Amino acid sequence: MKNLFLLLLALSVLTACNDKPQRYFETSQEIDILKSGIKAYETQDWTAWRANFADTAKIHHNTIKGLSPEDNMANLQSMVANFASYGFQDKGSFSEMVIDKDAETWVNYWGIWNGVVMASEEKVTVPVHLTARFIGDKIVEEYVYYDSAPISKALEAAKAMSNAKTPAEEVEMTNE
């Protein structure tokens, strides 16, 4: 009986020593870097936003084709220029870091983006998923997925509204 007890104790010690390395994290330096990039995007601090990416990084926004950080930044700047305000809400956002089977470090972010179109004051809400692969403290690859239709629809409606002239505006234009 004593030998059986010692054998079970030895097996439990050996089993405890074979712990697999942790693969999922709720806090990490990489998560903090990603969140700082989101804040930089929200405040239009493009220098800080750009600093999170490696020079060779590829960014994919709803596309397979990857853009350079500079090209993606130009697209973001062009889009947000149409909004009086925009950003991610804290409630409902979630981040995690994963070390995958290939030992690559990925940070996932799920959030809800809200914007107010400048020309129409229409509110737009879109769920977003972002995943970024890190090497060291730089993002080398990023994928961002969201339904762009509500944004496009709101911007098209605002454009149509600004192109429509009221009768008073037509009279002003003919009197000039």
Contact between residue 163 and residue 170 where contact means Cβ atoms under 8 Å apart:
no
Q: What 3-state DSSP class applies to 154? A: helix
Mean pLDDT, the chain, as a whole number?
A: 88
% the chain with pLDDT above 70: 82
Q: Given a cut of 70, is residue 118 above it in pLDDT?
A: yes
- Cβ within 8 Å of residue 133, ≥6 positions away: 104, 105, 106, 139, 140, 141, 142
- Quick: pLDDT tens for 153-166: 999 988 888 787 55
- Residue 14: pLDDT band with limits 50, 70, 90: low
Tell me how crowded residue 139 is: count the other CB atoms within 10 A of its CB: 21
Residue 126 β-bridge partners: 113
Tens of pLDDT, residue by residue over 18-51, are 667 888 889 999 999 999 999 999 999 999 999 9
Say yes or no: domain 20-162 is CATH 1.20.1440.230: no
What's the confidence (pLDDT) of residue 174?
46
